[in-house]
């Protein structure tokens, strides 16, 4: 049986099986969303860089979240846009595996960055007198480096386990990028070890952090309710509600994707969910933080006013 296998060096990304006119429409729509994603997150980064009032641990982690969102979308979306217009939707083996690695690394890192952001809010609201010590720049830097390192190492484990598998034709991936579950379906060998590692990693990187976030915000909620100042309570609710919206969008779609029971059309479900947190979630994050955060809106007004004055 091994002798009859046809070894190939590229995959075919099936993408969205739609009419040519609809694919052109989606190309325009998704291109617009992609531009908004890059622009919105770049504006957040620029505001944090230019406004000294945003040089705090909270916005330090928000800048890392913006970087992850830009990188995450840039890894997945351009190939999808190109395939919407091209008849040949092939991708070579090495770029495909690299895309899988970067996609997993950025996703894992975003999970951990969101946990660090919730911890920052917990310390700021529940232990304000110790905030400068518990969230010093040294501690924040260590947390950020640890998030990036753990996310990359965990992604590397997935890629190493994929590379041990033999792949044989025809290799048609029913997805718009090299998503790990879709790639594993093309292996002509037992992938149970990969599936177990993915599930364990999901528990570690999704369920564990989500539990930490929920515990942090339950403590934060009780602390906010004890705040006597109406202005202080409003400010605390504003910053925390923004973060909770982002957490709900990201963790909710990821848990449904990798841990919920599969539907009768799992591949179509995967494509829709992947599209959500590859394109829509990175686009919505800066909108959520700018529309629901008074400090970001204030920074934007100050930067625009300074530009007008010059």
What averages of pLDDT result for each successive group of 10 residues across the chain (310 residues)? 54 85 92 93 89 88 93 91 87 92 94 91 88 93 96 95 84 87 87 90 87 86 74 67 76 77 63 81 81 70 67
Q: Is residue 2 included in any domain, yes or no?
A: no
Under DSSP, the state recorded for 185 is T
Cis amide prior to 36 (ω within 30 degrees): no
User: What pLDDT was estimated at residue 139?
Assistant: 95
Phi, psi at 176, each rounded to 5° = -100, 0
CA distances to 13, 126, 180, 263 from 257, rounded to whole Å, are 19, 34, 11, 11
User: What pLDDT was estimated at residue 6?
Assistant: 45
Domain count for the chain, please give it: 1
Q: Is residue 171 included in any domain, yes or no?
A: yes
Q: Is residue 5 included in any domain, yes or no?
A: no
Contact indicator for 171, 8 with CB cutoff of 8 Å: yes
User: What pLDDT was estimated at residue 261?
Assistant: 62
Distance of alpha carbon 150 from alpha carbon 145, whole angstroms = 8
Q: Is residue 4 included in any domain, yes or no?
A: no
Beta-bridge partner residues of 91: 11
Q: Is residue 3 included in any domain, yes or no?
A: no
Identify the domain containing residue 180 by its residue range. Answer: 10-309
Q: Is residue 23 included in any domain, yes or no?
A: yes
Task: Report the predicted TM-score, pTM, of the whole model to 2 decimal places.
Answer: 0.86
Q: Is residue 123 included in any domain, yes or no?
A: yes
Sign of the dihedral defined by the CA atoms of residues 135, 136, 138, 144, in that order: positive
Q: Is residue 191 included in any domain, yes or no?
A: yes
User: What pLDDT was estimated at residue 32?
Assistant: 95
**CATH number, domain with residue 162:** 1.20.1070.10
- Please enumerate in sequence order all residues whose Cβ is within 8 A of that of 145, keeping only pairs 6 or more positions apart, or say none: none
Distance of alpha carbon 274 from alpha carbon 75, whole angstroms = 12
């Amino acid at each position: 049986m091994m002798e009859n296998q046809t070894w190939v060096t590229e995959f075919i990304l099936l993408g969205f099986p739609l009419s040519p006119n609809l694919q052109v429409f989606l190309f325009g729509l998704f291109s617009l969303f992609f531009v908004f994603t890059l622009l919105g997150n770049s504006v957040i980064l620029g505001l944090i860089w230019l406004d000294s009032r945003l040089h705090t641990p909270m916005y330090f982690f928000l800048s890392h979240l913006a970087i992850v969102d830009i990188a995450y979308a840039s890894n997945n979306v351009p190939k999808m846009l190109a395939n919407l217009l091209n008849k040949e939707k092939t991708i070579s083996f090495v770029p495909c595996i690299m895309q899988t690695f970067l996609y997993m690394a950025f996703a894992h890192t975003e999970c951990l960055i969101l946990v660090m952001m919730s911890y920052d809010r917990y310390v700021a609201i529940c232990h304000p007198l110790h905030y400068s010590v518990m969230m010093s720049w040294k501690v924040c830097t260590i947390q950020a480096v640890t998030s990036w390192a753990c996310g990359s190492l965990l992604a590397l484990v997935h890629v190493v386990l994929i590379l041990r598998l033999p792949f044989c034709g025809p290799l048609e991936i029913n997805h718009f990028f090299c998503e790990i579950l879709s790639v594993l379906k093309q292996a002509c060998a037992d992938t149970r070890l990969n599936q177990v590692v993915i599930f364990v990693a999901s528990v570690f990187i999704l369920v564990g952090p989500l539990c930490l976030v929920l515990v942090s915000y339950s403590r934060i909620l009780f602390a906010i309710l004890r705040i006597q100042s109406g202005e202080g309570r409003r400010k605390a609710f504003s910053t925390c509600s923004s973060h909770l919206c982002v957490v709900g969008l990201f963790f909710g779609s990821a848990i449904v994707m990798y841990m919920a029971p599969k539907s009768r059309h799992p591949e179509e479900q995967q494509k829709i969910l992947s599209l959500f947190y590859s394109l829509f979630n990175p686009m919505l994050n800066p909108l959520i933080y700018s529309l629901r955060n008074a400090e970001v809106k204030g920074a934007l007004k100050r930067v625009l006013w300074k530009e007008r004055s010059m």
